[in-house]
Amino acid sequence: MSRRIASALVAVTAALAGVAAFASPAAAAPADKPAVLSGWTQTSAASQNAWVAARQNQSGWSAYGFDWSTDYCSSSPDNPLGFPFQTSCARHDFGYRNYKAAGSFAANKSRIDSAFYSDLKRVCAGYSGVKRTTCDATAWTYYQAVDKLGSSPAADGSAAVSGVRG
């Protein structure tokens, strides 16, 4: 009888090991993943700086299973009129992709878009005069595109709309 129990335990253990091997990386992610994601997608400069530091050390965050991929500003210029928007677009992509993967995109889209606009305005703050005015207007245009079109099919990557895929 004990041989049957031992055989059954071995079979159950093997089956569980097989299931664990196919478990999604998100299932193994640390419990604070939602808090970390939220912290990196706020409107503040501190949030942006923390995300930039983490992006530079992605291997240190590998257990979290974040999607760091980006197409930057999609089919819109990454540096329109010479304004360096590329990093802002990358952080916006990070927010869109990771909240979609978490199944909570709709609840966080507005904040991600607002963080994007805040990032762009910080870029523009480095300019003055007409150049600042031009940068601010360009930032507003980019923000309006993601705000209005960022939940379109293009945001899910199923169609190309300038500058709004996440």
> 152 near 161, Cβ under 8 Å?
yes
Token duo for residue 152: 């379109």
Q: Is 67 helix (H, G, I), strand (E, B) or coil?
A: coil
Whether the CB-CB separation of 166 and 97 falls below 8 Å is answered with yes
Q: Which of 91, 92, 97, 100 is catalytic?
A: 92
> CA-CA distance, 117 to 48, in Å (whole number)?
12
Question: 63's torsion region: left (phi>0), alpha (psi -120 to 50) or beta?
Answer: alpha
Kindly calculate the radius of gyration of the chain based on its CA atoms and give it in whole angstroms. 21
Task: Clarify whether 15 is annotated catalytic.
Answer: no
- Point out the residues that are catalytic: 92
